[in-house]
């Protein structure tokens, strides 16, 4: 099911939902790091996880400036993002990366939709552009690492 994050009607809801999505992503990255056998893959995934932490920091600053309450964790979707990784663990590193790639598909879509959303003003646009570029880079690496 495609994500609706990025299609919100208010900037506050957009920021909150992106923060929740980022927390879900971090949980999935934690699960992935625990399961990967390849040290090289783990190292790359840890780098991507830091990108998501930076997104949380950047979005958190925006939330603070808007005076909105910041989500500090993911939501029910976290069960899906981490569950896919746990199931893929049965089949090895390539399956884990394939599961993570589907998670990245959602984050790419969310940032793309946010960039196209008319509520994304000048203050948010650079964050959305950076987030989209990072997510596309993560997804491209996962696609190439799967072979």
CATH homologous superfamily for 11-145?
Ferritin, core subunit, four-helix bundle (1.20.1260.10)
Q: Is the pLDDT of residue 101 over 70?
A: yes
Q: What is the pLDDT at residue 93?
A: 78
DSSP H helices, 1-147, are 11-35, 39-66, 77-88, 93-116, 125-145
pTM of the model: 0.87
Q: Where along the chain do its domains lie?
A: 11-145
Residue 2 carries which DSSP code?
Answer: -
Map tokens 């603070």 to a residue: 64
| Lowest mean pLDDT across 55-69, 71-85, 91-105, 115-129 | 71-85
Q: Is the pLDDT of residue 77 over 70?
A: no
For residue 73, the SS3 value is coil
Phi, psi dihedral angles at 69 (to 5 degrees): -75, 130
Q: Is the dihedral of CA 129, 122, 26, 85 positive or negative?
A: negative
Q: Round the average pLDDT of the chain to a whole number and report it.
A: 87
């Amino acid at each position: 099911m495609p994500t609706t994050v990025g299609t919100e009607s208010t900037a506050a809801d957009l920021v909150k939902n992106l923060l929740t999505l980022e927390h879900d992503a971090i949980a999935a990255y934690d699960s992935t790091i625990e399961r990967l056998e390849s040290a090289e893959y783990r190292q790359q995934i840890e780098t991507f996880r830091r990108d998501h932490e930076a997104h949380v920091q950047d979005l958190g600053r925006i939330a603070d400036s808007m005076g909105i309450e910041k989500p500090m964790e993911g939501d029910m979707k976290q069960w899906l993002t981490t569950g896919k990784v746990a199931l893929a663990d049965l089949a090895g590193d390539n399956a884990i990366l394939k599961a993570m790639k589907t998670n990245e598909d959602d984050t790419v879509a969310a940032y793309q939709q946010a960039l196209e959303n008319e509520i994304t003003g000048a203050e948010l646009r650079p964050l959305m552009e950076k987030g989209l570029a990072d997510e596309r880079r993560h997804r491209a690496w996962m696609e190439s690492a799967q072979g």
